[in-house]
Amino acid sequence: MRRIFLWMAANRWLRYHLPRLGFARRAVLRFMPGEDSESALRAGKDFQKDGIAVVFTRLGENITRLEEADEVAAHYLGLIERVAAEGLDGEVSVKLTQLGLDLDADRTTAHVERMADRAASFGKTV
C-alpha cells in the first residue's frame, strides 16, 4: 500500500487533478484545511477556540536534492516562529526523509537540531 501511495504522490497528473475533485476536498478539509501555511494557521486558531491543539506538517516525502531539504528546513523554522507569534497551542511534525535523510544524514541532523532549538526557545517541541 505504501508503494501505491508514494507512486500516487509522485504522479504529476494525480497531483494536479485529484485535489480539484470535490469529494477529495471534502474528505480532507478538516485535517488539511489548506495548501499553505496561512490556511493552516487560520485553521489552528479556529481549533484553539474549541480547545483543540494542532500539529502542523508539510505534505511531501522524499526529496531528490539537498537544496530541497534546506528549503523544507527554512519553511519549518519560519512556521515554528509563526506558531509562537500567533500564540497557538501547536507543534510541527517533520519527516526526516523530507529533510534529506536519504541523501545526507549529518545535514538532516543539523536541520533537526536547529528546529528543535528554535522550538525549545518558544517552549515547544518538534
Write a three-state SS string for 64-76: CCHHHHHHHHHHH
pLDDT grade for 45, boundaries at 50, 70 and 90 = confident
pTM of the model: 0.73
81-115 confidence digits (pLDDT tens): 999 999 998 899 999 999 999 999 999 999 999 99
The mean pLDDT of 55-71, rounded to a whole number, is: 87
Cα–Cα distance measured from residue 110 to residue 67, given in angstroms and rounded to the nearest whole number:
14
